[in-house]
Structure 1
Amino acid sequence: MSTSWNVYKHHSSKAMLEEIVALGFKWIELSHGIDAHMVTEISEFVQRGRVRISSLHNFYPVPRERNDLSLLQFTSCREDQRRWAVSFTQRTIDHAARLGASCVVLHFGNVGGLRSYRRLRQLALQGKLYTKEFARAKIREILCRERWSAPLKERAVDCLLQLGDYAGAKGVRLGIENRKAYEEFPSERELLALLEKLSHPTFGYWHNFGHSQVKEHLTLVNHKEWLERVGSRAVGSHVRDVQGLDDDNLPPFSGTIDYPRLVPLLPKDCIFVLDLKGFSRSGAIRASVKRWKNMFLSQETSGGESRSSAR
């Protein structure tokens, strides 16, 4: 389970981790939002064998020197911001190696000034999803976004080439996560091209079920077809559910995502991390995990590396 669920509830990392452990989780992802003062206590908690760390979300911890994460983007037009992004990602990789985590989840950045997701979502909420107005707006946003594709990819590749060998030497994979907002990098087309361009065993795909489902609701992607294309390259995933276009951090099986159809498209050694927000109640979380285990663990062994181990 990800600490995204309760990181903002606690000043003490010990209390944060104990609350997750009390739900029965033995594996935890350390999400963004963790401050530097929490790191030592987390390390001590892990060293005592109370929990194991599956993955870290970049950046860990939140950089004191650059606490505005919008200024730490691999796709930034400013070289100094890209340099800082690489440096702080290397620090995250160092922490991952020390904590025994197998993967770091990466975000890249966006096209400044574009608000494609907001515009298309507003039209959809007005009941215009299958209208000519929406179709024209979607085409307009796609064409505008595509103009930026080449420079964004060039900057991202330059940064990632500095990280591949660094992470590989420490036994840490780097998962490139799909994004919800169309103005963010990479799009689905760019993500596949990025993996091909890098051609490095350190890099893999990190699938966010909620993000793909929201994009499906906006007619930007077919969730199942996308996983059929990229699923074999997945190293991990964020598990959440979606109701319409507003809630994409619900417990699984409480929304519209067809997990029985989608989960088999991911590798057996894929990491599954429950990624929720604080409004999810403990009872609902336990119920969804129980259903997950009944649905998937009955088909496989329940070992720590099982495809269906909801962490």
Structure 2
Amino acid sequence: MKFTSKEQYSFSTCWNIRRHESGDRMIEEIRSLGFSRVELNYNVTREMLQTIEPLIERGEIGISSVHNTFPHIADPDYGTDSVLLGFEDKERRSRAVELLLQSAEYAHRYGAEAVVVHPGEVPFDRDIDHQLKEIYSTQGRESAAYQRLWAEMIERREALSDGYIQRIMSSLDDVCEQSERRGYKVKFGIETRSRCNQMPTLEEARTIISGLRGAPVGLWYDIGHGMMMGRMGLYDNVNEANAMIEDIVGVHIHETIGLSDHWCPYVHSGDMEGFDSFLDIIAQAPVKVYELKAACAPADIELSHQMLVSKIARRSGGRIARTVGGE
């Protein structure tokens, strides 16, 4: 089948990184879908970059964004699900700041617009998010078991969140100051997360961004994660996200079926209207990145994209971009 050119959109390497050891082959597979820009995710290794960088230098692929911590680091303390910028221990937090600056340096070198940042979380002594999701799936959000455990989670989260927010803000302030001094021309997008104990909620994101007003920090709105947290009851996803539209640095485009994320919008859920709530956000976002799981087939990706851009065009009264091999 023919794939349309998707010049305004980027595509995350999370889709096919598990299938490739060679970075250039991974990028070529994404290019075959019609994408000329990619987001390099946190599993991209230095070895992969050896074959990706020549493609960047020759202008064969553009980099929209990189995902902290970049390149891949095996230490779980600085992985995607950790306290990161909110560590109480000053040495560990300093290391997290250094790694975010490293991500920014790569982003600047590659001409990317943004760094996607997981700021941190309120830690628990067990995986309370997994427990809540199991109860949600088997008994429902309104069940007594869910409500009891949810209340326990919220009590600890709210009791500790202020301290973590302040440390995250301090870390980001330090990062932005050093980034500006080094001449990095990138923005930092704090991402909505997929676990209920992780930060930020949309209200927390507003607090952080407002507190750092003037710094190159905004919201990286992960649509699927927002949908999950809305369903679980953490925040009013649709209304709060749209209210922050002016603060959005970039978006991760994917849909959630129940509490399973990274599916192609419209195609896998079969819901032809629910995802429309996010079209204004996507249209306005400076960086638009599909972040899809490996199970999403190329034909589904193409169909989903065509539906999405057609809907946006109809809402804006504009025309759908001319496609490769099209009219």
TM-score (ref. length: structure 2): 0.85
Aligned match of 2:184: 170
Aligned match of 1:126: 138
1:43-94 per-position Cα deviation (integer Å, ceiling 9, x unaligned): 2101111111111100111137x47534771112222211111111111111
Confirm or deny: 8 A CA contact 1:107 1:176 kept in the other structure: yes
Alignment partner for residue 169 of structure 2, among 148, 151, 157? 157
State the secondary structure of the residue aligned to 2:284. coil
Q: Aligned partner of 2:120: which letter?
A: G
Q: Tell me by how many angstroms 1:156 deviates.
A: 1.0
Structure 1 unmatched runs, 5+:
304-311
Aligned match of 1:219: 233
Q: Tell me by how many angstroms 1:297 deviates.
A: 4.1
For 2:320 and 2:63, the matched residues in 1 are separated by 18
For 2:145 and 2:72, the matched residues in 1 are separated by 41
Stretch of structure 1 that moved more, 3-12 or 218-227: 218-227
Q: Tell me by how many angstroms 1:151 deviates.
A: 1.9
- How many residue pairs are counted as aligned between the two chains? 301
Alignment partner for residue 158 of structure 2, among 146, 157, 168? 146
Alignment partner for residue 63 of structure 2, among 50, 53, 57? 53
1:19-46 per-position Cα deviation (integer Å, ceiling 9, x unaligned): 0000100111111101111223212101
Q: Tell me by how many angstroms 1:190 deviates.
A: 1.8
State the secondary structure of the residue aligned to 2:115. strand
Q: Tell me by how many angstroms 1:98 deviates.
A: 1.0
Question: Measured at CA, do residues 43 and 218 of structure 1 come closer, stay the same or move farther in structure 2, by a change above 3 Å?
Answer: same
| 2:145 aligned with 1:100 | no
Question: Measured at CA, do residues 110 and 67 of structure 1 come closer, stay the same or move farther in structure 2, by a change above 3 Å?
Answer: closer
For 2:143 and 2:248, the matched residues in 1 are separated by 35
Q: Tell me by how many angstroms 1:136 deviates.
A: 3.2
Q: Tell me by how many angstroms 1:209 deviates.
A: 0.7
Confirm or deny: 8 A CA contact 2:251 2:282 kept in the other structure: no
Aligned match of 1:179: 193
Aligned match of 2:274: 258
State the secondary structure of the residue aligned to 1:220. coil
Q: Aligned partner of 2:305: which letter?
A: V
For 1:79 and 1:134, the matched residues in 2 are separated by 36
Aligned match of 2:88: 77
State the secondary structure of the residue aligned to 1:176. strand
Aligned match of 1:30: 40
State the secondary structure of the residue aligned to 1:276. coil
Confirm or deny: 8 A CA contact 2:113 2:287 kept in the other structure: no
State the secondary structure of the residue aligned to 1:148. helix
Trace 1:104-119 onto structure 2 (pairs within 5 A): 104-112=115-123, 113=125, 115-119=127-131
TM-score (ref. length: structure 1): 0.89
Q: Aligned partner of 1:289: which letter?
A: H
For 1:232 and 1:266, the matched residues in 2 are separated by 12
RMSD: 2.1
Confirm or deny: 8 A CA contact 2:68 2:115 kept in the other structure: yes
Confirm or deny: 8 A CA contact 2:23 2:48 kept in the other structure: yes
For 1:134 and 1:67, the matched residues in 2 are separated by 29
Stretch of structure 1 that moved more, 174-183 or 283-292: 283-292
